[in-house]
Amino acid sequence: MPRENKRKKPSLTVQITISLLIGIVAGIAMQSIPDIAEGYVKPFGTIFLNLLKFVVVPIVFFSILSGIISMSDIRKVGSIGVKTLVYYTCTTAGAIVLAMFLANLFKGFFTVIDPTGVTFEPGETASFMDTLVDIFPSNIIAPFANASMLQVIVAALLFGFGILAAGEKGRPAAALVDSLTEVCMKVMDIILRLSPIGVFCLILPVVAENGPQILGNLGLVLLCAYIGYFLHAVIVY
């Protein structure tokens, strides 16, 4: 029998790159009708972003919970929990410092926006004790609704401790957590497969409304971001 020639499907990175280029070209072509791009194309990009936000919190919660359960030792949970909170706080602080440094370093390269009519009133800075209190959620819904990652981590630690402490009766809950973790990963995989469409729908209205010259600034933003990613990985992590 003759062998069938199966074409290898392009990688997701290649698909995203192609959709980005097509989106730029389509955006340039639609400069005369930016309202259509804004009203009928951008919403699909927003849907893609919403889906990403939707799945991030459950993945964090169930992944941490699953990791705690896999330790099978309650005494390790407290130690790992404290280390996780400290690690998360320190890496977040490092990311903020790097972001502020790079933003100030690159700001001279970006187009200056006229601030006329724009007002900003900074909120009150929370004290250390207020911040400490806010880490511990008052109900189970709030951390997920507000995407408060520190609270999500604390909730995962508490439930992980509870499942381990329940012993034999906690095994069904542990199996459910393992199953839900795998389900969340599959949901994320499905959403990521939509990335080419999401990227296309996000870049097209930007180019259509602002023209191709905006790509220079977007390129600088990406360059700044990837330098930050690299420095964060090498220095902080």
Higher pLDDT, 61 or 115: 61
Give the pLDDT band of residue 126 (cuts 50, 70, 90).
confident
- Kindly report the number of other CB atoms within 10 A of residue 18's CB atom: 14
Q: At what angle do helices 128-135 and 149-165 cross, to 10 degrees?
A: 50
Average pLDDT over residues 179-203: 94
Q: How far apart are CA 174 and CA 166, in angstroms?
A: 10
Q: So what's the pLDDT on residue 131?
A: 81
| pLDDT average, residue stretch 36-62 | 93
As a whole number, the mean pLDDT across the chain is 86
pTM (2 d.p.): 0.74
pLDDT recorded at residue 79: 72
For residues 206-220, average pLDDT: 85
- Here the tokens at position 133 are 């209190």
Task: Give the count of alpha carbons within 13 A of 100, CB side only.
Answer: 6
Neighbours of 69 (CB within 10 A): 22
Query: Would you say 84 and 64 are in contact if contact means Cβ atoms under 8 Å apart?
Result: yes
List the one residue out of 43, 64, 78 whose CA is nearest residue 180.
64
**In the structure encoding, which two tokens stand for residue 129, read together?**
């004790």
> Which alpha helices (DSSP H) does the chain contain, by range?
12-29, 34-36, 42-71, 74-106, 128-135, 141-146, 149-165, 171-192, 195-210, 214-231
- Answer positive or negative: Cα dihedral of 90, 221, 54, 185: negative
pLDDT of the residue at 109? 76
Question: Tell me: the pLDDT tens digits for 99-114?
Answer: 999 988 887 777 666 6
Region 134-140: mean pLDDT is 87
Give 210: exposed, middle or buried? Use CB within 10 Å, 0-12, 13-18, 19+: middle
